[in-house]
Amino acid sequence: MGKIIYLDHNATTPTAQKVLEEMLPYFNTHYHNPSSLYKPSRDCRKAIEESRTIVASLIGAEPREIIFTAGGTEADNFAIKGIAFANKSRKNHIITSKIEHHAVLITCMWLESQGFEVTYLGVDKYGVVDLNELKDSITDQTVLITIMHANNELGTIQPIKEIAEIAHSHNIYFHTDAVQTVGKISTKVNELDVDLLSLSGHKFYGPKGVGALYIRKGTLLDPLIHGGHHERDRRAGTENVPGIVGLGKACEIAKQEIGTNNKVKNLRDRLWNGIKNKIPEVVLNGHPEKKLDGTLSICVKCVEGESMLMDLDAHGICASSGSACAAGTAEPSHVLTATGMPADLSHSSLRISLGKHNTKEEIDYVIQVFPQIVERLRTLSPFWKK
């Protein structure tokens, strides 16, 4: 099999052909600076504003509540630092969780070095945030709660509405990193009741390096990037017109397709059933129901995650152990550790994340070769009892 089987969609997705086609004219024909006053520039400005309307519509927001960024990481940084610094003289405490993406976690750690206080909430064995611990952590200094919508490693979906209710009953801002859910499940900002929401194009068939932060109207935050008057003075820099146009197209496609079929979920369940029936001593991670359709996180006892990845790669299968950002490090995943998993087990973790182009044939091929890979690696393991 010379073909590549791509099963790492939580790391990134292929840019849709329609998205690419929509973007291309904005690299050459419509290269003009959207801030200039002549007609070609006004056309670029118009394209940006149309895209803003489409992005807003996917999440049930108003166009003026959308600020374009250079991806999910920037949106997270902007939300958290923006709220923290805008309210610095008033309040200095932030609450987040131990299983956030590094874009949130490392940002919060940096804020600690700048004099802010941060509480990192624990999670249960499924990766769900403890709401009682959340309530107990709130002080009169708490200005922001930031909890991700779905976790990129486990796929576990958090009780966002409940968290929002707790936050708002204490007059605390609530931000959610929805990078793994926008385009996959409903992320209407009024239903979730969030004040700030991060999204990223490349996680749902849009281009890399472009995303957006939803900022509920009336919410004050300090800018992250200073300079010109772009994005209503909230994010300086000449707009990434092709990227923004591509993000809009990806949102348009997602809006049409969301909830229309169970293909990804069925393939994921087929894969899990195949693995579970053929391989002994495999553990399923994450919440059994409240999780993303395409995510399968497992631990294969007595086999190193990295070894499985290399053998899968040799068969043309792309997967991940832990998060892509943590790959190549010997540290166990901070997410799996937070669920209470012992280090030896989390070293045997594998994350397979499916997308809309995967086929039954691809999944059946994985079900065929993966048990052989595990069997071989286990015969080499001193810990595996034969």
Q: Could you say whether residue 54 binds ligand PLP (CB under 6 A)?
A: no
Can residue 158 be called a binding residue for ligand PLP (CB under 6 A)? no
User: Distance (Å, rounded) from C-alpha 95 to C-alpha 115?
Assistant: 14
Q: Which letter does DSSP use for residue 15 in this model?
A: P
Q: Per CB under 6 A, which region of 134-142, 173-181, 346-354, 368-376 contacts ligand PLP? A: 173-181
341 near ligand PLP, judged by CB under 6 A: no
Among positions 208-267, residues that touch ligand PLP (CB under 6 A) are: 211
Q: Name the segment binding ligand PLP (CB under 6 A); options: 1-9, 65-73, 119-127, 309-317.
A: 65-73
Q: Which residue is nearest to ligand PLP (CB)?
A: 72
In angstroms, give the least distance from the CB of 196 to ligand PLP. 13
End-to-end CA distance of the chain: 31
Judge contact between 59 and 286, C-beta under 8 A.
no
Nearer to ligand PLP, 84 or 275 (CB): 84
Q: Does 101 bind ligand PLP (CB under 6 A)?
A: yes
CA distance 340 to 314: 32
Residues 6+ apart with CB under 8 A from 369: 312, 315, 317
Q: Let me know if 108 is a catalytic residue.
A: no
Q: What is the smallest separation between the CB atom of 54 and ligand PLP, expressed in angstroms?
A: 18
Lookup: tokens for 202: 């490349």
200 part of the interface to ligand PLP, by CB under 6 A:
yes
| The one catalytic residue among 108, 299, 318, 325 | 325
Neighbours of 314 (CB within 10 A): 10
CB of 69 to ligand PLP, least distance (A): 9
Q: How many CB atoms lie within 10 A of CB 158?
A: 23
Size of the site for ligand PLP (CB under 6 A): 15
Contact status: 107 vs ligand PLP (CB under 6 A): no
Nearer to ligand PLP, 72 or 242 (CB): 72
How far apart, in whole angstroms, are the C-alpha atoms of residue 199 and residue 182? 6
Cβ-based nearer residue to ligand PLP, 150 or 367: 150
Among 44, 58, 148, 369, indicate the residue that binds ligand PLP (CB under 6 A): 148
Query: Which of residues 180 and 358 has its CB atom nearest to ligand PLP in the complex?
Result: 180
Task: Choose the stretch contacting ligand PLP; rule: CB under 6 A; options: 71-79, 185-193, 251-259, 327-335.
Answer: 71-79
* Residue 55 contacts ligand PLP per CB under 6 A: no
Buried b (16+ CB within 10 A) or exposed e, 122-141: ebeebbbbeeeebeeebeee
**Burial bucket for residue 14 (CB in 10 Å: 0-12, 13-18, 19+):** middle
Distance, CA of 373 to CA of 139 (rounded, Å): 51
Burial class (CB in 10 A: 0-12, 13-18, 19+), 233: exposed
Nearer to ligand PLP, 148 or 282 (CB): 148
CA distance 38 to 121: 52
Residue 148 or 251: the one with the smaller Cβ distance to ligand PLP is 148
Q: Of the candidates 7, 83, 147, 179, which one interacts with ligand PLP according to CB under 6 A? A: 179
Q: Which residues is 97 bridged to in the sheet? A: 121
Decide if 144 contacts 111 (C-beta within 8 A).
Answer: no
* Residues engaged in binding ligand PLP (CB under 6 A): 71-73, 76, 101, 103, 148, 152, 177, 179-180, 200, 202-203, 211
